[in-house]
Amino acid sequence: MTRRVGKWISGSKHQRRLALSFLGSGNWRVFTHRARLVLNARPNDADIRLALIYAREPRSFIGSREPYYRARANDYRRWLRSKDLRLRDVGREAVEHYDRLADEAEERDRRERDRI
């Protein structure tokens, strides 16, 4: 699948969408490898950056959303140590995004507790 993602990302608009839809599947190592492939193929594409940030967004929750978002931020922190500058930049954006979502969820939880 990773080989196909690498091929599709340089193809037609439909193929690019297909490649982006498979970014988040697999474990973190596979995701990181695919992230490098798509960033190398389309280094200045803002849609790629957003797709990489949202590819691992939690889609279902049990209880508070805050720990789910903190976990995602921690996952992307691994990229902050990368030698790949583009991967580091996306990692920084993703950490900021998920930390902000976690802070907002924490605040929402606090307001809900205060109402009770």
Q: What is the DSSP string of 20-68?
A: HHTTTSS-HHHHHHHHHHHHHHSTT-HHHHHHHHHTT-----SS-SHHH
The per-residue pLDDT for 59 is 84
Each domain of the chain, given as residue ranges in start order, spans: 1-43, 57-116
Nearest CA to 32 out of 93, 89, 76, 70 is that of 76
The per-residue pLDDT for 115 is 82
The per-residue pLDDT for 61 is 87
Q: What do you get for the CA distance between the two ends of the chain, in Å?
A: 49
The per-residue pLDDT for 116 is 73
Residues of the chain with pLDDT under 70: none
